[in-house]
């Protein structure tokens, strides 16, 4: 996947002059959405002004309107930031609509194609407003991806194991795909050719992303977990991250809301908005 990101040192402008950031959330009844609403309500600098859902009745702990149509919601509530925590098909449409109406999206929905990301970036830059799309909002997961990219300079063999709850519809996860992309940027060499393998059960070796095997697990009781395992002569290196509660994603969403106000392009990946090089 091509990296769609721009440094914060360019294509920026002054943040909106407002005492409180007005926010709309799509997907408020989901587990991530309900956590996001709780986080927004607990921040003095944020104000929840509306929600978008396929049902008009959502418990938000605040007296805010719920819309089934995004156009109507954004035009009525006039938010600064739109947070999408839905599914890829809906999230892509929502992101385009928000950008076209001048609202800055923060998107936690994964599964966008390269073409969709490029199109979103073009719309954001044409309208001169920011957009952040993050496969994973947990800061620990971002560090796991960054550390894996660094380790790839010294190893040529690596596999990824990602584990999620049984309600997750896409596989592999956006985090695994992004991790593989970052690893392949730095991989010391192409993975060693394996012996001629046979699978008595198709898919037993996982998916092959240009030489990086990705294995997906879906089970009740899990939230979001990933291991990146490097193999070398006489050793292995495992870099692991576990989100044991969805509250782990809220710090990244909060940071994204603050950062997106200063952007005029689309940034893909939370590692591009936090300083983790020093």
Residue (of 248, 278, 43, 6) closest to 130 by Cα position: 6
Those residues whose C-beta lies under 8 Å from the C-beta of residue 122, and which sit 6 or more positions away, are: none
The parts of the chain modelled with pLDDT lower than 70 are 1-18, 56-62, 191-194, 276-278
Within 10 angstroms of residue 36's Cβ, the number of other Cβ atoms is 28
Write out pLDDT tens, residues 89-112. 899 999 999 999 999 999 998 778
Domains of the chain (ranges plus CATH)? 21-137+247-272 (3.40.50.720), 139-245 (3.30.360.10)
Annotation marks residue 126 as catalytic: no
Those residues whose C-beta lies under 8 Å from the C-beta of residue 97, and which sit 6 or more positions away, are: 70, 71, 74
Annotation marks residue 164 as catalytic: yes
Polymer length in residues for the chain: 278
User: Among residues 31, 78, 118, 168, which one is catalytic?
Assistant: 168
Those residues whose C-beta lies under 8 Å from the C-beta of residue 125, and which sit 6 or more positions away, are: 11, 264, 265, 266
Instruction: Tell me if the pTM is above 0.85.
Output: no
Average pLDDT over all residues of the chain: 88
Residue 173 is given by DSSP the state: -
Asked whether 85 and 25 are in contact (CB, 8 A), the reply is yes
Question: Alpha-carbon torsion 50, 173, 121, 43, what sign?
Answer: positive
172 prior amide bond cis, ω within 30: yes
User: Among residues 94, 164, 225, 254, which one is catalytic?
Assistant: 164
| % of the chain surpassing 90 pLDDT | 71
């Amino acid at each position: 996947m091509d990296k769609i990101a721009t440094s914060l040192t360019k294509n920026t402008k002054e943040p909106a002059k407002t005492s409180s950031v007005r926010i709309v959330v799509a997907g408020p009844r989901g587990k991530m959405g309900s956590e996001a609403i709780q986080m927004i309500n607990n921040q003095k600098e944020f104000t929840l002004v509306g929600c978008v859902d396929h049902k008009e009745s959502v418990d938000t702990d605040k007296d805010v309107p719920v819309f089934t149509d995004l156009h109507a919601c954004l035009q009525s509530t006039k938010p600064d930031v739109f947070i999408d925590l839905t599914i890829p098909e809906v999230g892509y449409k929502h992101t385009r609509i928000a950008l076209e109406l001048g609202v800055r999206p923060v998107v936690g929905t994964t599964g966008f194609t390269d073409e969709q990301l490029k199109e979103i970036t073009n719309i954001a830059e044409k309208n001169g407003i920011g957009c952040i799309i993050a496969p994973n909002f947990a800061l620990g997961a971002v560090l796991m991806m960054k550390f894996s990219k660094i380790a790839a300079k010294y190893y040529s063999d690596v596999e990824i194991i990602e584990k999620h709850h049984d309600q997750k519809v896409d596989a592999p996860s956006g985090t695994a795909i992004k991790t593989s992309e970052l690893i392949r940027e730095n991989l010391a060499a192409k993975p060693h050719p394996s012996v001629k393998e046979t699978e008595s059960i198709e898919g037993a070796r996982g998916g092959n992303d240009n030489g990086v095997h990705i294995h997906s697990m879906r089970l009740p009781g899990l939230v979001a977990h990933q291991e990146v395992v490097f193999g070398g002569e006489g050793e292995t290196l495992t870099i692991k991250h576990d989100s044991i509660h969805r509250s782990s994603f809220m710090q990244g969403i909060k940071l994204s809301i603050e950062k997106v106000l200063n952007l005029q392009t689309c940034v893909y990946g939370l590692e591009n908005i936090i300083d983790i090089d020093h």
